Amino acid sequence: MRTRRVFAHVGLTVGALIMLYPLLWMITASLRPNTEIFTDAGLVPEHPTLGNYALGWHSTGVNFGVYIANSLIICTAVVIGNVLTCSLTAYAFARLKFVGRKTLFALMLATIMLPGHVTLIAQYSIFRNLNWIDTFWPMIVPSFLATDAFFVFLMVQFIRSIPVELDDAARIDGCGAWGIYRRIILPLLSPALVTTAIFSFIWTWNNFFSQLIYLSTRTKLTVPVALRGFLDATGSSEWGALFAMSVVTLVPVVVVFVVFQRRILAGMAHTGLK
Amino acid sequence: MSRSAADSFGTRLRQSVPGYLFLLPWLIGVLGLTVGPMVLSLYYSFTDYALFNTPAWTGLHNYTALFHDARYLHSLRVTFLYVAVSVPLEMTFALAIAVLLNRGLRGLAVYRALYYVPSLLGGSVAIALLWQQIFGSDGLLNHVLSLFGIEGHGWISEPGTALWTLIVLRVWQFGAPMVIFLAGLRQIPEDVMEAAEMDGANKWQRFWRVTLPLLSPVVFFNLVLQIIGAFQAFTPAYIISGGKGGPSDSTLFYTLYLYQQAFGNFRMGYAAAMAWVLLLIIAVFTGLNFVLGRTWVFYGDEGVRR
């Protein structure tokens, strides 16, 4: 039995190493001179250098910090928008009575699985008429209109587990719907709000498609779009610099994961979020 | 309608006001950004629309044109192959590792986190670029192979293998379904397992006869989710092929072709038709899953196989 366990551990560790090897290799490659990158499969750079980072930071003609700032602006706005409007929506569906609730709830559930492509063309044409092309609005405004139904659903489930007696007590104390939302539901909902915030951040940070179609001016680009055009912009095969900037773009996600690991994995397990 | 019924409807409507106020952002969003655009897209799909003109009605032309568009049909084949190969592989890995981890090994949390990391980062542009380099002609894989005296191969530059690098990339991200499997495995009561063990069931029998049936709702859930997700994959194919879907259209995913038609050729009506067909395909697959699911998904509280 014991040797079995040792075997299992060895197998799982080797498996994890194989899985993580590409990532570790990329970090090492970012610390190597270009000439050594593809001739060394090891994980320890012979002549470690930070030169790639300095080079990559400036080589697209725009300071890489600008892309990071753009991504952070969009991510922050999306996090705020989702936390705010999804919780308002979820509270209404979970607690308030109104005509057509069942139908609207079904509609909300249906939009969870809806492939974004069926709305894409028309949305693009609407945003174009609003003169929002090449601005951050197409990424930000939808989050303030609770369009990510996944989070609404997550919060509805959570609010349903909060005892209704608390609402009743607050009502007796003179709270209206807003007071109950603000003083009872919102504080107790905080675990779901944190989960929403984390996933909003990670998904928006990694989101490529909408940023690709809506942004074009170089100074307005976000991290994923800037990274895509990196080799074209530098006009060379600066793999080292590319890997260095790739590492830079992955760091925030890894940091968020390490800090909130338990919550992320618990959130995934409960809702099947990706 | 009697007077009192009308009155009570009026009362109910009045009582609905706070609810609608809370729902206001979502209502605007669902009408203005989801339902409205869906209807508008459906309209565009029956028109010739290039973004700069007023849409001109062409009836079913876009839809019939799809079936004569060799590249479109090819993109369907590529996408189906991608879904059909990567999803089962990903699910198998996820289930196998989850079962292995669920045996009360120490360090479960660490392993779970490590295996999840690729899912966390895998959809990003950075990882797609890394893949492009690893599987490139002068890339890491060929270098490692050369150490063993094996001749390299242009994994991404040759049409025979390019799609497979994308499949590997997806399977690499099996951590997400694995986490969901692990949560499901924890719900299986220990006494059921012990009872099976006492009845003389060996490990394989316990897995096939007890674990798998009890886990089948989770398997089903993962399957539906992964299939829907895989049909919509875009970023890795776009990055690895430089937006072209090459070589020889071997990585021309459905969504990538849609993107090219919409934002490369500005054939917005055509792209809208593609989007609606994609919705239909996904709906059919999801529906099929639910119908077939009745034969193999086991809901324990009913006590019988449905």
pLDDT digits (tens, 9 = 90+) for B189-207: 888 888 888 888 888 888 8
Same domain, A97 and A214: yes
Is B105 within 8 Å of A119 when comparing Cβ atoms? no
Same domain, A66 and A123: yes
Same domain, A19 and A128: no
Percentage with pLDDT > 90 across chain A = 75
Same domain, A24 and A69: no
Q: Which residues of A touch B278 (CB under 8 A)?
A: 115, 117-118
Q: To which residue do tokens 């071997």 refer?
A: B250
CATH number at residue A252: 1.10.3720.10
**B131 domain-assigned:** yes
| B32 against B140, higher pLDDT | B32
Please state the rounded mean pLDDT for residues B168-183. 94
pLDDT of residue A24 exceeding 80: yes
- Distance (Å) of CA B225 to CA A200, B93, B154, B289: 19, 16, 33, 11
Q: Which residues of B touch A87 (CB under 8 A)?
A: none
Please state the rounded mean pLDDT for residues A164-170. 93
Smallest CA–CA distance, residue A152 to chain B, in Å, is 10
**B123 domain-assigned:** yes
Q: Domain limits at A230?
A: 61-271
Cα B157 from chain centre:
26
Among A18, A89, A101, A121, most B C-beta atoms within 10 A, so best to mutate, is: A121
Q: Domain limits at B188?
A: 68-302
Is A2 in the B-facing interface, judged by CB distances under 8 Å?
no
Of A39, A41, A246, the CB nearest to B129: A246
Q: Which residues of B touch A212 (CB under 8 A)?
A: 238
Of B22, B134, B272, the CB nearest to A177: B22
**B3 domain-assigned:** no
Output the pLDDT for position B46.
97
**In angstroms, rounded to a whole number, what is the distance separating the alpha carbons of residues B214 and B146?**
47
Beta bridge partners of B56: B48
**In angstroms, rounded to a whole number, what is the distance separating the alpha carbons of residues B108 and B121?**
21
Q: Which residue of A lies nearest to B187 if distances are taken between CA atoms?
A: A269
Same domain, A259 and A221: yes
**B174 domain-assigned:** yes
B278 Cβ partners below 8 Å, 6+ apart? A115, A117, A118, B231, B232, B254, B255, B258
Same domain, A205 and A226: yes
Is B111 within 8 Å of A8 when comparing Cβ atoms? no
Is A27 in the B-facing interface, judged by CB distances under 8 Å?
no
**B1 domain-assigned:** no
Is A119 in the B-facing interface, judged by CB distances under 8 Å?
yes
Output the pLDDT for position B303.
46
Same domain, A14 and A150: no
Q: Which residue of B lies nearest to A206 if distances are taken between CA atoms?
A: B124
Of B44, B228, B229, the CB nearest to A122: B44
Same domain, A106 and A231: yes
Output the pLDDT for position A59.
83
**A54 domain-assigned:** no
Instruction: Kindly give the interhelix angle for B36-44 and B268-296, rounded to the nearest 10 degrees.
Output: 120
pLDDT of residue A30 exceeding 80: yes
The three-class DSSP label of residue B56 is: strand
Confidence of residue B130 (pLDDT cuts 50, 70, 90): very high
Q: What angle do CA B102, B108, B109 make, to 5 degrees?
A: 130
Please state the rounded mean pLDDT for residues B158-175. 95
Q: Which residue of A lies nearest to B240 if distances are taken between CA atoms?
A: A228
Break chain A down into helix, strand, coil percent, rounded to 5: 75, 0, 25
**A126 domain-assigned:** yes
Same domain, A9 and A85: no
**In angstroms, rounded to a whole number, what is the distance separating the alpha carbons of residues A267 and A195?**
6
* pLDDT single digits (tens) B219-245: 998 999 899 999 999 999 999 998 999
Please state the rounded mean pLDDT for residues A176-192. 94
Is B33 within 8 Å of A176 when comparing Cβ atoms? no
Is A181 within 8 Å of B22 when comparing Cβ atoms? yes
Is A251 in the B-facing interface, judged by CB distances under 8 Å?
no
Same domain, A34 and A131: no
Please state the rounded mean pLDDT for residues A74-89. 98
Domain tally, chain B: 1
> What dihedral do alpha carbons A207, A213, A217, A220 form, nearest 10°?
-30
**B11 domain-assigned:** no
**A56 domain-assigned:** no
ipTM field: 0.91
CATH number at residue B144: 1.10.3720.10
Is B279 within 8 Å of A126 when comparing Cβ atoms? no
The three-class DSSP label of residue A163 is: coil
Is A164 in the B-facing interface, judged by CB distances under 8 Å?
no
Of A139, A103, A119, the residue nearest A213 (C-alpha): A139
**B30 domain-assigned:** no
| A182 against A60, higher pLDDT | A182
Of B32, B147, B179, the CB nearest to A268: B179
Same domain, A35 and A132: no
Of B30, B134, B221, the CB nearest to A272: B221
Q: Which residue of A lies nearest to B50 if distances are taken between CA atoms?
A: A125
One-letter identity of residue A223: V
pLDDT of residue A188 exceeding 50: yes
The pLDDT mean for chain B works out to 91
> What dihedral do alpha carbons A227, A273, B41, B24 form, nearest 10°?
-110
Of A99, A128, A145, the CB nearest to B28: A145
Please state the rounded mean pLDDT for residues B165-169. 97
Same domain, A45 and A92: no
Is A35 in the B-facing interface, judged by CB distances under 8 Å?
no
Is B130 within 8 Å of A91 when comparing Cβ atoms? no
**A55 domain-assigned:** no
Output the pLDDT for position A266.
78
Output the pLDDT for position B306.
36
Is A160 in the B-facing interface, judged by CB distances under 8 Å?
no
Of A62, A18, A95, the residue nearest A217 (C-alpha): A62
Is A16 within 8 Å of B112 when comparing Cβ atoms? no
Length of chain B: 306
**B276 domain-assigned:** yes
Output the pLDDT for position A274.
42
Domain tally, chain A: 2
